[in-house]
Amino acid sequence: MASESARAPGHGASAILELDEVVPKDWDIISGSGHQSYFLTHMRGRRPENFHAMREFGAIGNAISIALGVAAAKKNGKVMLIEGDGSLLMHIQELETLRRHGLKMLIVVNNDGAYGAEIHKLRQDGLDDREAIFGRTDLGAIARGFGLRGTNVTDLGQLPSLLRDYEAGDTADIWNVPISDQVVSPRMRRLNIKGHGVI
């Protein structure tokens, strides 16, 4: 399931900055938990009520259920879930729910090929991070396997045309965006005191 041909176009913040330029300001934005969620603070000029940040129990993987609910309630296709690859894989079967109910929403996956928070905490403490690395899953192909649209983004310059295609379509879409696993969010750098890593 891992596609090593995908190259990282940048880090989480650069991907979010490009998304912020491309995605209209009136969309609802759902953020998952984990390391990638900190980069969302780079999105500006949006109404607070359009942000839905999931931090339930510090657990990853539960944001897609909230995003499904928002998409079902709004019924306007203007719903974007921004999630990490490890988090999405926790509940990847919910892509079937998206398809079965005909919900239209956009899922943007910041794919660092690992459980991001874990690798950064392990590295901070000088520990082996191998068990937290699983490779860059081809989430575009998985989305298509569920009957949805799915693209493995290789250049952030693709996003404007991908958004046009999404808006013209009638189904959910996944943009699988490879990001660097070497860039630690500023928030995590401040909190990740050696031996006491928290997020």
**Residue 9: predicted pLDDT:** 53
Contact 45, 19 (CB under 8 A): no
Is domain 12-191 annotated with CATH 3.90.550.10?
no
**Residue 64: predicted pLDDT:** 94
* CA nearest neighbour of 65 among 52, 76, 78: 52
Positions of the chain with pLDDT lower than 50, given as ranges: 1-8, 195, 197-199
Q: pLDDT over 70 for what percent of the chain?
A: 88
Query: Distance between CA atoms of 84 and 82, rounded to whole angstroms?
Result: 7
Query: Distance between CA atoms of 111 and 86, rounded to whole angstroms?
Result: 8
Residue with tokens 């879409």: 173
